[in-house]
Structure 1
């Protein structure tokens, strides 16, 4: 048995300092029981903090009399296994971030707060009656109660409150059913039974795959070892069914599957489809769940009692001891990139994690990112294409509608309104896509031309009508709608531009016989709002679906035969070099919502630029040609994926402070790395939106043709910045492989 003074604990604490701290083991604890990955409480300056044991060693650079004893460990086993510790070390190194904060972010919020890693109990709801015709009639006017009862009756053991919540069933609905004695509540102690003890694995028979799907499945399962597969399948080609059957094979081999999805909006329908297919526990982690619910999912995955984890980007850090497959759905989506604190890209971490676990990783998309296409071109990824829609559905036809010199009715061209009327009259559904929420993008004075601006940002305030207020979507500042112009006091203030609220009002007036269902961040704030809207859409009755990019991703609406894209021009001339790529992906994704059922689909794109080369290629459903044109442009400019990029950003109360700091960094790059011809500093320059939240933002770009020189320079600059004593009002951040330049 070792003496507590024979070993030193190297501990990572959740602080922005890029270093580890040495402590002696807690008094009274057998040092031989301590392992890396354990949570441990320490005195850190005046505060008690929860750290992670990063390493155990026998020497310290700190004098022995200066070493403190740690206070105590929180559990006898490591919560973070060796694989996740290694992933976090790589992440902290690549993004030049504090290891302590990286390890902390790998834990659920409840564990960061020091709560026990206890499985505890779950609430189950069981049916107390048969769902016959008389009961269906009784609940006809309470559709959500009927849906809840139908769901609960699908499982003889009952359904957990978390599962029902994920399906859009609120606690109020369950309580009302319980009051009618139709269901009952039970508390069930959680036992960590391995997922593969449940047989049979499947609840329902898989669909028969078409030749393209079968080829894709065989490519994924070709070997159980690490190989990245870019699965490029047009919208509606049946990628999800390929995922499901690949996961089935993984589960049959006794392995777990991790499925990453870009946004919380996609998780309810994905989870529902997976739970209909599999008997093994399917758990999920996303921001819509409470801390306790996320902890239970994390524990179930980390103890291998769950066979499948469906998660948004933070799920990439979840321990899965028997990981056998990773799927990254909509791999091109910008939501995989964290935009604050640790600015990691979950897609890239998932590939590194699959390499560590020596398992296949699938990157699925109808519109792959240029980075993934480049990796496929160079042979680093297998590239499998699915060019036809499943079930015999045809690709939609795309029409560019030139609206130059046309009279618009509140932003809508007459041919679009006529086509919407005809489609609704035929009993089909229409999707109207407008990627701008609110009533109007701005409020303008008719007399002097001034626009109501945010006092804290270089941005116009957006006018909302429900409830009436002005809202800055950049800093969240809100204020009442002004009665007069702040500049000239004129009362002639009028909306300028078009948002989803205003379009909803216009479409409701033009088509009073059909419901207009608005799907954006404002209309789906309530927890059960999005599932309720999706249920109404899936009834298949004629209606108009109006929304932002929330409608564009992953949804299957077989009743939609017409898609109208109202403002396609906004992203064609973006100041962000990725702007055109994102616009093209969004247009293709939105267009793909049309004609997914038996009826053919049609897409109309309103534009002032019908001759724009990008729109011409997209109108031919030719994403490959569109991507190739972007590759040529990026090669000339040495921009990703034909180069590497990192951005230092500053925020300060005074413009000159941020400029001066970035100017220092520029001089250091030229002085110490000037010989590296492939490393070029650009700036400092004001950010595209210079003033935000009352602070002035500057940025310095470092561009390189090679990754290694760039990271050597970044390490040198970060070490330099860590030694500086900066004023409190001046902050800096580093973004490696930025996805947004705005």
Structure 2
């Protein structure tokens, strides 16, 4: 009897045995297999082939279909999957499923139809190099194919500017022909569509350092002030990798950055670019995945999950804005794409280039330990000057629409000069609170310990935590007063008040609500980059890498929100955010200015950040973390549990804490305690934080603890999860 041991998309941390029907060829590990699972059919991945099972033969259900001839993932990605599932303490079957495009999870073929590949005929090879000069497009097609005697697929030819009409015209003249293709495709030699910019001395040194060692694993931290030309360094390093016939994987934190980045890549390189992010259809994502897997796409650009994309000719991984929280998956398979990229680079034997103006403290600690090599860009590119930053003390001042008179005056002067203003507020909606002016009642969410946000278009109270929506009441439920007022300012309210104050200035609101339509953000940014006076009101969507050359003034109406958070990472996040937002000002030839409104002008974090810079602030935070044994000086895992009744998750995690403390091993248990937001979506939430000085000690403790917790009857009465290296304690 042949037994197939499968990893299935299931929350259970185990493999499942199935019987291979008699006479079927034995598949190799790594292929997808369709099997019955309960009352449904699922697709799993074959882990190993065995000759016996702990289950009697008559109880083993037969395999329904083997979907692949060979492993669906290459060997290095297979090793990466095993490592990631083990490190993040996640069921292997579910981890493998999350690594595959949706259509592959549903059983679609991993191998696409063969490409149409074009090459020169004997007659075409005999032509003189300039024989087609009078037909410019046909000459371009001949040039491209003459440079690639093995032929090129149509996507690669399109990237080189060759049209199908010109190919058909040459085919009619028997100069080119279509040949039967194979699934492995050679990359076209990447002709530069646009010459590289002239690098300054720091950029040139950074490029030279990376390309000198492209054939081995190394981690480079490119730390450059905002506007210092980090992208140009990426592009010049990428040019060397592409010229060697290898592929580049580029990870960005937000979907909104991909159109701008794709345009930059396509303007520089004439080679296929594949995109992978959640804004694409399942079909588009599968096609991009296949193009990367068979070697057709030279550049693969994507958000977090693109880190698992197979590459036939891997050469370089770039992680832009490596500090960004978006790289951490916050539910399900809770991996960190930056850290997975580092492990992948190690397995592939290729360099990993991390870029940020405000690196994560973990990355800076790795530089200090000698694990990363730091490349510094201290000057803005093109001679642009860093913006002047000024604190505005608003204690006791009467604000107009949340803005001080000094800020409004600076905005007036900026717009009169024909320049642009960015007003940053990290709250979408109209106002964060709706309250009664007479008795102090505040609207709340019936399902969460949170205040719903008041939105105006359409008018509603919307909880951003659980999604609950309702119409605002006409009168106060407590006292009956009709004097209900919004408190605080979101993007909608700022847009309204600034529109009344500056009616002549074009207004652009950039938040999740205003950019829901596909292409809306790209259209808005294209209008802004054309120039002319304008006001941009936006959330941190605007703070992540966008180049806004005409913005010379940035105003942050409230920079105090992150100063007193219960999360130990809040200070680091606030410093990064302030520097990133400030970096949108003065990126071209005109000087920039940043105004920070605060009621805490003497706060140590603001004092150090503005007086000595981000690196001094980072050193201060690293010292604090070392004293407390917190990351990167220690290692954490967060156990979360939730249920309708608070007692059940408390009791469940109390048993976990007792088990951890009894086992010892250098792991401490903090808690259990109610989560900062105890009730969310109708469930009461409890946290247990596990802390260890050594990563290995924490992993060993989790490997013992989690199977034990799964065996407890109480574990079936709560919903619980584990988060290794948590980035948010909420």
TM-score, normalised via structure 2 length: 0.90
Query: Where does residue 535 of structure 1 map in the other structure?
Result: 526
Shift of 1:261: 0.5
Q: Could you report, residue by residue, the CA deviation over 1:361-382 in whole angstroms, capped at 9, with x for unpaired residues?
A: 0110000000000000000000
SS of aligned partner of 2:713: coil
Residue among 592, 595, 618 paired with 1:627: 618
Query: Where does residue 11 of structure 2 map in the other structure?
Result: 16
Shift of 1:463: 0.4
In 2: Cα distance, 1:103 partner to 1:583 partner: 35
Query: Where does residue 398 of structure 1 map in the other structure?
Result: 389
> Relative to structure 1, is the Cα distance of residues 644 and 200 closer, same or farther in structure 2, using a 3 angstrom cutoff?
closer
The answer to whether 1:73 aligns with 2:66 is yes
Query: What is the aligned-residue RMSD (CA, Å)?
Result: 2.1
The answer to whether 1:689 aligns with 2:677 is yes
In 1: Cα distance, 2:391 partner to 2:188 partner: 53
In 1: Cα distance, 2:179 partner to 2:306 partner: 25
Query: Where does residue 38 of structure 2 map in the other structure?
Result: 45
Query: Where does residue 203 of structure 1 map in the other structure?
Result: 193
Query: Where does residue 163 of structure 2 map in the other structure?
Result: 157
Query: Where does residue 220 of structure 1 map in the other structure?
Result: 210
The answer to whether 1:278 aligns with 2:269 is yes
The answer to whether 1:570 aligns with 2:561 is yes
In 1: Cα distance, 2:320 partner to 2:185 partner: 23
Q: Could you report, residue by residue, the CA deviation over 1:434-463 in whole angstroms, capped at 9, with x for unpaired residues?
A: 111100001000111011000000001110
Shift of 1:321: 2.2
Shift of 1:24: 2.8
Shift of 1:307: 1.1
Shift of 1:158: 7.4
Shift of 1:197: 4.3
In 2: Cα distance, 1:27 partner to 1:515 partner: 72
Preserved contact between residue 261 and residue 313 of structure 1 (Cα < 8 Å)? yes
Counterpart mapping for 1:222-621 below 5 A = 222-223=212-213, 224-620=215-611
Shift of 1:467: 1.0
Preserved contact between residue 121 and residue 189 of structure 1 (Cα < 8 Å)? no
Shift of 1:200: 4.4
Shift of 1:705: 0.8
Preserved contact between residue 640 and residue 687 of structure 2 (Cα < 8 Å)? yes
> Relative to structure 1, is the Cα distance of residues 189 and 577 closer, same or farther in structure 2, using a 3 angstrom cutoff?
farther
Query: Where does residue 153 of structure 2 map in the other structure?
Result: none
Shift of 1:64: 3.5
In 2: Cα distance, 1:387 partner to 1:732 partner: 45
Preserved contact between residue 588 and residue 621 of structure 1 (Cα < 8 Å)? no
Q: Could you report, residue by residue, the CA deviation over 1:688-739 in whole angstroms, capped at 9, with x for unpaired residues?
A: 0000001000000111111111111111110111212347551111011000
The gaps in structure 2 that reach 5 residues or longer are 117-135, 137-157, 166-177
Query: Where does residue 728 of structure 2 map in the other structure?
Result: 740
Shift of 1:70: 1.1
Query: Which sits farther off after the overlay, 449-458 or 74-83?
Result: 74-83
The gaps in structure 1 that reach 5 residues or longer are 124-129, 131-151, 160-187
Query: Which sits farther off after the overlay, 64-73 or 354-363?
Result: 64-73
Query: Where does residue 645 of structure 1 map in the other structure?
Result: 636
Preserved contact between residue 84 and residue 317 of structure 1 (Cα < 8 Å)? yes
Q: Could you report, residue by residue, the CA deviation over 1:130-154 in whole angstroms, capped at 9, with x for unpaired residues?
A: 9xxxxxxxxxxxxxxxxxxxxx999
Shift of 1:193: 7.0
SS of aligned partner of 2:263: helix
The answer to whether 1:708 aligns with 2:696 is yes
> Relative to structure 1, is the Cα distance of residues 53 and 573 closer, same or farther in structure 2, using a 3 angstrom cutoff?
same
> Relative to structure 1, is the Cα distance of residues 153 and 233 closer, same or farther in structure 2, using a 3 angstrom cutoff?
closer
In 1: Cα distance, 2:310 partner to 2:281 partner: 19
Preserved contact between residue 653 and residue 729 of structure 1 (Cα < 8 Å)? no
Preserved contact between residue 442 and residue 462 of structure 1 (Cα < 8 Å)? yes
The answer to whether 1:83 aligns with 2:45 is no
In 2: Cα distance, 1:477 partner to 1:121 partner: 48
Shift of 1:59: 4.0
In 2: Cα distance, 1:104 partner to 1:193 partner: 23
> Relative to structure 1, is the Cα distance of residues 621 and 17 closer, same or farther in structure 2, using a 3 angstrom cutoff?
same
SS of aligned partner of 1:272: helix
SS of aligned partner of 2:248: strand
In 2: Cα distance, 1:27 partner to 1:506 partner: 75
In 1: Cα distance, 2:689 partner to 2:682 partner: 23
Shift of 1:687: 0.3
SS of aligned partner of 1:408: coil
In 2: Cα distance, 1:621 partner to 1:194 partner: 53
Query: Which sits farther off after the overlay, 483-492 or 688-697?
Result: 483-492
In 2: Cα distance, 1:611 partner to 1:192 partner: 66
In 2: Cα distance, 1:389 partner to 1:8 partner: 62
Shift of 1:332: 0.2
In 2: Cα distance, 1:651 partner to 1:37 partner: 35
Preserved contact between residue 195 and residue 281 of structure 1 (Cα < 8 Å)? no
> Relative to structure 1, is the Cα distance of residues 26 and 291 closer, same or farther in structure 2, using a 3 angstrom cutoff?
farther
Q: Could you report, residue by residue, the CA deviation over 1:384-442 in whole angstroms, capped at 9, with x for unpaired residues?
A: 11100111111111001111111110110001000000000001111110111100001
In 2: Cα distance, 1:560 partner to 1:194 partner: 46
> Relative to structure 1, is the Cα distance of residues 121 and 370 closer, same or farther in structure 2, using a 3 angstrom cutoff?
same
In 2: Cα distance, 1:122 partner to 1:438 partner: 48
In 1: Cα distance, 2:80 partner to 2:181 partner: 28
Shift of 1:77: 2.4
In 1: Cα distance, 2:478 partner to 2:290 partner: 58
> Relative to structure 1, is the Cα distance of residues 397 and 621 closer, same or farther in structure 2, using a 3 angstrom cutoff?
farther
Query: Where does residue 183 of structure 1 map in the other structure?
Result: none
Preserved contact between residue 159 and residue 272 of structure 2 (Cα < 8 Å)? no
SS of aligned partner of 1:409: coil
SS of aligned partner of 2:77: helix
In 2: Cα distance, 1:121 partner to 1:613 partner: 62
Shift of 1:156: 4.6
Shift of 1:191: 6.2
Preserved contact between residue 195 and residue 280 of structure 1 (Cα < 8 Å)? no
Preserved contact between residue 259 and residue 326 of structure 1 (Cα < 8 Å)? yes
Query: Where does residue 654 of structure 1 map in the other structure?
Result: 645
In 2: Cα distance, 1:688 partner to 1:77 partner: 48
> Relative to structure 1, is the Cα distance of residues 262 and 326 closer, same or farther in structure 2, using a 3 angstrom cutoff?
same
In 2: Cα distance, 1:254 partner to 1:20 partner: 39
TM-score, normalised via structure 1 length: 0.89
